[in-house]
Homo-oligomer: A and B are copies of this chain.
Amino acid sequence: MDQDATCCPGLAAAPLDDERATELARVFKAMGDPVRLRLLSMIASREGGEVCVCEMTPAFDLSQPTISHHLKLLRQAGLIDCERRGTWVYYWAVPGALDTLAGFLTTKQTDLAARRTTGATRQTAGPTAQTAGATP
């Protein structure tokens, strides 16, 4: 469900509205922690795409509940998903999530076109165009 929020316009296309910024911030915040970033990388770099929790936990100097908590945040951000098989739980990267996010950050030509459409974004009074006068 988070994928829909990160799909279309691009960050450099037009100023984000508050609602969309909030959704996106949740995803970036999930990646704003070294432990979660390592977990995500550990999962995304797997070919089969499946990593057992019992494999990730001993890679950190953290307790097992802490790792479980971080995995939960990554899952709530829509970056990974999991399934229980017998005793063990396996995590994998949600297929298009990272690429969608990457496309959102890329300042591609599509964004430039969209930017021109949006045009002037001056919402308040102030020195917008005639700023050169202040720097002789």
Contact = CB atoms under 8 A, between A and B. Distances in A.
Contact of A32 (B29, B35, B59): B29
Contacts of A99: 105-107
Total copies of this chain within the assembly: 2
A117 B36 CA distance: 24
A37 interface: yes
Nearest to A100: B105
A38 interface: yes
Contacts of A82: none
A24 B90 CA distance: 25
Interface of A: 11-18, 21-22, 24-26, 28-38, 40-42, 44-47, 50, 52, 54-55, 58-59, 85-88, 90, 93, 98-99, 101-107, 111, 115, 118, 121-124, 126-128, 131, 134-135
Given A86-B135, A87-B134, 15 more contacts: A11-B45, A12-B41, A12-B44, A14-B41, A15-B38, A15-B41, A15-B42, A26-B32, A28-B29, A28-B37, A29-B33, A45-B111, A45-B118, A58-B123, A98-B105
